[in-house]
Chains A and B, each alone.
Chain A
Amino acid sequence: MDINFTPEEEAFRQEVRSFLKEKLPREMSDKVLNHKHLTKDDLVNWQKILYEKGWAAPGWPKKHGGPGWTPVQKSIFEEETARAGAPPLLPFGLAMVAPVIMNFGSEEQKERFLPPILSADAWWCQGYSEPGAGSDLASLKTRAEREGDHYIVNGQKTWTTLGQHADWIFCLVRTNQEVKKQEGISFLLIDMNTPGISVRPIQLLDGGHEVNEVFFDNVKVPAENLVGEENKGWTYAKFLLGHERSGIAGIGRGKMELTRLKEIASKEQKNGRPLIDDPSFRARIARIEMDLDALEMTDLRVTAAVQQGQAPGPEASMLKIKGTEIRQEIYHRVREAVGPYALPFQPEALDGQTDDAVAPDYALSAAPTYFNNRKLTIFGGSNEIQKNIVAKMILGL
């Protein structure tokens, strides 16, 4: 047994670090590290910078223009980019629809859709959830009826993250009402500019606009936009769940946020001394670090198993549960660390649009970040659903 990275892996880490030092714009990392609001341009521009280097799609094979990294390299990349405060790579195109197209799409679809995903020229969003179909996704009702060489889509998707910017949406739609609910679902790619689609913003509790409702009213979708076979959409969606799970524990992000918590606790005062020197607060931070350290090892164990060709199993659910709980605990402690200055609500300041900020950015963003990240345990399969998976698949209960 050797739990150290190989010299090659360490060299790769150095390469990523020097790249980030040179290419990650300061104003971007400043926003990320202070939890200020990122714009669409920030996200697109950062992906384009990575694209130049050939690193925009850490999970893609070389054949499609990815770097062809090992799982360990991917995990190093994730950690280093998070540490440096790089904007996140949005998963919807790169990590969600692309692997499905690569594995089940036609050659034409691969040629048409993959290059703009890689170069950040097409913005994708995920149309799975519906008002009546959240955890029980397979009960979705949005219908696609075949008419000649088109599908006519009617229904509603919801919680569509950043759908307001999207050029495309990948949807699970019902194409057969007669069969078992999982067996009548298809995977359809829909141009957001098609007549009949309307997008309504949903404001979240932190005041931000990141999710939407998307309505489909007799939307005409060319049949060539069906991925794979009709009524096999559920299989593809499940493939996705089992496939792209690297990074699900968010170790890199967790470490970055933990460092940030320590910095904030060093700047904040309690009884005239730095909060970080308060034994009970310090012990709380230490507990988080201990949890995160153990989780990192669990993550690496799974990563190494995948590297040796084993399929990532339901262990991914454990990583998701623990990883999100740790992140939420960090955000709670940041809110606690900044004391009464967690109260002022000045979203303009987080957009960089006010000179009247009454507290540092890290304080003004503390409560919005804390509330916004309640989402971590709800989306991507809620933590309750993840526990059901572990109970069933690992424990056989």
Chain B
Amino acid sequence: MDFSLTDEQRMLQDTVERLVQDQYGFEQRRGYMQEKGGFSRDMWNQIAELGLLGVPFPEEIGGFGGGAIETMLVMEAFGKGLVLEPYVASVVTSGQLIADAGSDAQKEAILEPLVGGELVLAFAHGEPDSRYSNTQVATRAERSGAGYTITGHKAVVLHGDSADKFVISARTSGDTMDADGLSLFLVDADAKGVSIQGYPTIDGLHAAEVKLNGVQVSEDALIGQEGKAADLIELTQDRGAMAVCAEAVGAMGVACDLTLDYLKQRKQFGMPIGAFQSVQHRMVEMRMELEQARSATLKAAAKLDSGDPVERRRAVSIAKHQVGIGGRFVSEQSIQLHGGIGMTEEYYLAHFAKRIAMIDNQFGDADAHLDRFSAQMDVPKTA
């Protein structure tokens, strides 16, 4: 067993961490948030120039040829700066989905501009009533002529207001709750019948409601096999989950560091508040939650690449559950131990606390992953 990173991985980590350190200060981030879509196009181009948009893609198309561990390293570093750019939406979820299941023509049309930063994708799967389900889809794609007509409502689509194209899940057969009959399509954001309502999210990102009203797509908009997309959707959701877990680990680390510093500086009753044992124990518990989250996320990344869906589901659910519960603890207690100052928008701790907590509301919350884990948990047979 060896937990050390390869030289390439360490270089990748250094590159992203340097970018975040130099260009993702609190005030800089505030500036980026004011731009269209709530992130900086300049920063996006830099991320592209550094090759980061190609991390999980093959070298032939200008990618880095990395796997889930590399994605984890990028996302953890992004978490340290609360990076706003649509990396999860465009690269981790939609981009990898195209790389896995897209036709040659789709890959050719999409991946190179995506890696270059010219094309932004968003993954539009969730719906108003579907919560975190991987298979509950009411959006329908009906065969019509040489293509499909898609109608439905996709909810809280991460970065949906910046996407040039969507990867959309829609039902080509069966009922809303069926795992069978799900298909994936590439849909242009400016296609006729698509309406997009973008908005900021409470943690500083952007999302959108995407409504499709009789949107016509041609046959070659279908990604992969018709009616058989359930596994691919689940894999994609798991990739998103692992990525935001890694982001949470980065952000939780910062929240813990900021809190620890504060405990040493802030004096009440003539001594640093970190001198009180009840406070010390709380800080210790925060660090323990962070380390548990780090471990679980590492395993999730390793198992994402294992090709074994049972192992992958287990590990991703353990990580996302841990980040849900432990992230909540770190978020809440970092505010608590800061006292009033932790509640203010002007001090950057709260921004970390908010993002860490809200990660639970993406890609399945702690309960959703607890459900999935318990459903496939090993139980010994008794006579």
Q: Which residues of A contact B (CB under 8 A)?
A: 129, 134-136, 139, 158-159, 202-207, 211, 268-272, 280-281, 328, 332, 335-336, 339-346, 356, 358, 367-368, 370-371, 374-375, 377-379, 382-384, 387-388
- Using known A-B contacts A203-B344, A204-B343, determine if residue A344 contacts B129 with beta carbons closer than 8 Å: no
Per CB-CB distance, the 6 closest pairs between chain A and chain B, nearest first, are A205-B350, A136-B268, A340-B156, A343-B201, A203-B345, A345-B202
- Contact B370–A280 (Cβ < 8 Å): yes
In whole Å, how far is B278's beta carbon from the nearest beta carbon of chain A? Answer: 6
- By a CB distance below 8 angstroms, the chain B residues around A377 are 336
In whole Å, how far is A212's beta carbon from the nearest beta carbon of chain B? Answer: 12
- Contact A207–B345 (Cβ < 8 Å): yes
Does residue B340 face the partner (Cβ distance < 8 Å to A)?
yes
- By a CB distance below 8 angstroms, the chain A residues around B121 are none
- By a CB distance below 8 angstroms, the chain A residues around B278 are 384, 387-388
- Contact B133–A271 (Cβ < 8 Å): yes
Please give 8 more A-B residue pairs, beta carbons under 8 A apart, in addition to A135-B273, A272-B177: A134-B268, A134-B339, A340-B126, A342-B358, A345-B201, A367-B361, A374-B342, A379-B340
- Contact B340–A205 (Cβ < 8 Å): no
- Contact B328–A135 (Cβ < 8 Å): no
- By a CB distance below 8 angstroms, the chain B residues around A271 are 131, 133, 136, 177
- By a CB distance below 8 angstroms, the chain B residues around A328 are 332
Does residue B346 face the partner (Cβ distance < 8 Å to A)?
yes
- Using known A-B contacts A272-B136, A375-B343, determine if residue A340 contacts B269 with beta carbons closer than 8 Å: no
Does residue B365 face the partner (Cβ distance < 8 Å to A)?
yes
- Using known A-B contacts A129-B340, A202-B344, A280-B370, determine if residue A340 contacts B155 with beta carbons closer than 8 Å: yes
- Contact A204–B332 (Cβ < 8 Å): no
Interface centre among B131, B339, B370 (most CB of A within 10 A): B131
- Contact B340–A158 (Cβ < 8 Å): yes
A48 to B332, CA, bound (A): 37
- Contact B343–A280 (Cβ < 8 Å): no
- By a CB distance below 8 angstroms, the chain A residues around B156 are 340-341, 343-344
A387 to B281, CA, bound (A): 14
- Using known A-B contacts A204-B345, A280-B370, A374-B336, determine if residue A339 contacts B132 with beta carbons closer than 8 Å: yes
A335 to B128, CA, bound (A): 15
In whole Å, how far is B161's beta carbon from the nearest beta carbon of chain A? Answer: 12
- By a CB distance below 8 angstroms, the chain A residues around B358 are 342-343, 367
- Contact A339–B131 (Cβ < 8 Å): yes
Does residue B360 face the partner (Cβ distance < 8 Å to A)?
yes
Does residue B209 face the partner (Cβ distance < 8 Å to A)?
yes
Q: Which residue of B lies closest to A384 (CB)?
A: B278
* Partner among A134, A202, A341, A374 whose Cβ is within 8 Å of the Cβ of B332: A374
In whole Å, how far is B301's beta carbon from the nearest beta carbon of chain A? Answer: 23
- Using known A-B contacts A134-B340, A207-B345, determine if residue A339 contacts B207 with beta carbons closer than 8 Å: no
- Contact A341–B155 (Cβ < 8 Å): yes
- By a CB distance below 8 angstroms, the chain A residues around B129 are 269, 272
* Interchain residue pairs with CB less than 8 A apart (10): A134-B339, A271-B177, A336-B361, A336-B365, A340-B126, A343-B207, A344-B156, A344-B199, A358-B199, A367-B357
A374 to B345, CA, bound (A): 14
- By a CB distance below 8 angstroms, the chain A residues around B29 are none
- By a CB distance below 8 angstroms, the chain A residues around B328 are 332
In whole Å, how far is A119's beta carbon from the nearest beta carbon of chain B? Answer: 31
- Contact B340–A343 (Cβ < 8 Å): no
In whole Å, how far is A354's beta carbon from the nearest beta carbon of chain B? Answer: 10
- Contact A205–B201 (Cβ < 8 Å): no
Does residue B258 face the partner (Cβ distance < 8 Å to A)?
no
A211 to B344, CA, bound (A): 10
Does residue B203 face the partner (Cβ distance < 8 Å to A)?
yes
- Contact B131–A269 (Cβ < 8 Å): yes
- Contact A367–B360 (Cβ < 8 Å): no
- Using known A-B contacts A378-B340, A378-B343, determine if residue A336 contacts B360 with beta carbons closer than 8 Å: yes
- Contact A344–B344 (Cβ < 8 Å): no
- Using known A-B contacts A135-B339, A367-B202, A382-B339, determine if residue A340 contacts B361 with beta carbons closer than 8 Å: yes
Chain B 251-277 near chain A by CB (<8 Å), digits 1 or 0: 000000000000000001110010010
- Contact A343–B345 (Cβ < 8 Å): no
- Contact B155–A384 (Cβ < 8 Å): no
- Contact B361–A342 (Cβ < 8 Å): yes
* Partner among A202, A336, A378, A382 whose Cβ is within 8 Å of the Cβ of B367: A336
Does residue B14 face the partner (Cβ distance < 8 Å to A)?
no
- Contact B199–A205 (Cβ < 8 Å): no
Does residue B144 face the partner (Cβ distance < 8 Å to A)?
no
A280 to B373, CA, bound (A): 14
A358 to B350, CA, bound (A): 25
- By a CB distance below 8 angstroms, the chain A residues around B46 are none
- By a CB distance below 8 angstroms, the chain B residues around A342 are 202, 358, 361
Does residue B218 face the partner (Cβ distance < 8 Å to A)?
no
A344 to B197, CA, bound (A): 11
A387 to B279, CA, bound (A): 12
Chain B 331-357 near chain A by CB (<8 Å), digits 1 or 0: 010011001101111100011011001
Interface of chain B residues 115 through 136 with chain A (CB within 8 A): 126, 128-133, 136
A328 to B357, CA, bound (A): 14
- Contact A358–B343 (Cβ < 8 Å): no
* Partner among B201, B279, B365 whose Cβ is within 8 Å of the Cβ of A344: B201
- By a CB distance below 8 angstroms, the chain B residues around A272 are 129, 136, 176-177
Does residue B65 face the partner (Cβ distance < 8 Å to A)?
no
- Contact A280–B371 (Cβ < 8 Å): yes
- By a CB distance below 8 angstroms, the chain B residues around A384 are 276, 278-279
In whole Å, how far is B115's beta carbon from the nearest beta carbon of chain A? Answer: 28
Does residue B200 face the partner (Cβ distance < 8 Å to A)?
yes
A281 to B362, CA, bound (A): 18
- Contact A339–B339 (Cβ < 8 Å): no
Q: Which residue of B lies closest to A138 (CB)?
A: B269
- By a CB distance below 8 angstroms, the chain B residues around A205 are 335, 343-345, 350-351, 353-354
